[in-house]
Amino acid sequence: MLSETTVVDQQFEETVRSLFEDADSVLIVNPAPPVFRALILTAVESDIDLPDLKVLASSEVLKSAVEDFILASRVADLVEQEVLTLRTTSDIARNSLLVSEDLVVTVITLDGKLTGLQSSDEELVENVRTTFMDEWETGDTFSLRTPPFSRVKETLDEDFGEDVKDDFMMIVESVDTIPGEDDELDEVAIALLVGANNEELLYDISKWGEDTGVASKATFSRTKTRLEDRGLIETEKVPIDVGRPRLRLVLVPNDLQNIDNLAEQVTA
């Protein structure tokens, strides 16, 4: 998430788009979290054929960046498309660098805004690219546990229908990061609240979550209990032919009665 004092100005976005359009391969070295987020969102929102994106960063930076479900799932989309590769190293340059075949961009924060200082000097570009490609080759692969965003969206539609998918997307599109600043309403809680808004079974929601890689059934169960304790949802027993009754998720009456109130609760 961008800090309150760091924003991405239009000029930096244009620099990144231009770099992506003109390059066959871009090496992204030591991206600070705001830089990484800006690059990923620019890539996923772009309608061009993306270059081969190689990220070389410390494991701490990447772990911190992908704690946000929205960002991590977008990263996972690019990885699945074989556009993006993440590698880590313990010995890294201090500045964030973008290196193509013909250009080096040093990313700095100026007056609270991200901006890039560019150089096309052939000798400099060659030296920088050679140095960091050598580090890239010896770096460790960074693996994501978050499923691709496209898979989450597609399976919600397939398993539960358009209403559940649209409710989930409405909430995701209304926030910048998941979980938010209170670290409470994460992707699992949102899925359960959306399920309750549509009176889905806990078994079905938690199975979907485990099958797609969002979280385990145990995590869904614990989160369901937490939401019940907060008075946001409740469950109703639904008899089945064989075995224990299953639980239907419902929103608490006179509290979260529709998706608009649900979105307000999540973004409050």
For CATH 3.30.870.10, list the domain ranges present in the chain: 6-141
For CATH 1.10.10, list the domain ranges present in the chain: 149-266
Q: How much is the average pLDDT of 244-256?
A: 81
Q: Which two tokens stand for residue 211?
A: 């099958």
Helix spans in 139-200 (H): 149-160, 162-173, 187-197
CATH 2.160.10.10 is right for the domain spanning 6-141? no
Give the integer Cα–Cα distance in Å for 131 and 99. 11
pLDDT in tens, 68-101: 999 999 999 999 999 999 999 887 767 889 999 9
- In degrees and rounded to multiples of 5, residue 238 shows phi and psi of -120, 110
What is the second-level CATH architecture of the domain 149-266? Answer: Orthogonal Bundle (1.10)
Q: Which two tokens stand for residue 97?
A: 């660098």
Q: How much is the average pLDDT of 43-58?
A: 91
Specify the DSSP element, H or E, that contains 244.
none
- In degrees and rounded to multiples of 5, residue 145 shows phi and psi of -100, -15
pTM of the shown model: 0.85
Instruction: Tell me the sheet residues that pair with 98.
Output: 28, 105
Percent with pLDDT over 90 in the chain? 54
Nearest to 166 by CA among 258, 254, 94: 258
Peptide bond into 148 cis (omega under 30): no
pLDDT in tens, 103-148: 999 888 877 788 888 888 999 999 999 999 998 999 999 988 899 9
Of the two residues 176 and 210, the one the predictor is more confident about is 210
| Listed range (106-115, 121-130, 233-242, 259-268) with the worst mean pLDDT | 259-268
Q: Which two tokens stand for residue 133?
A: 């490609």
Please state, as a whole number, how many other Cβ atoms lie within 10 Å of the Cβ of residue 250: 17
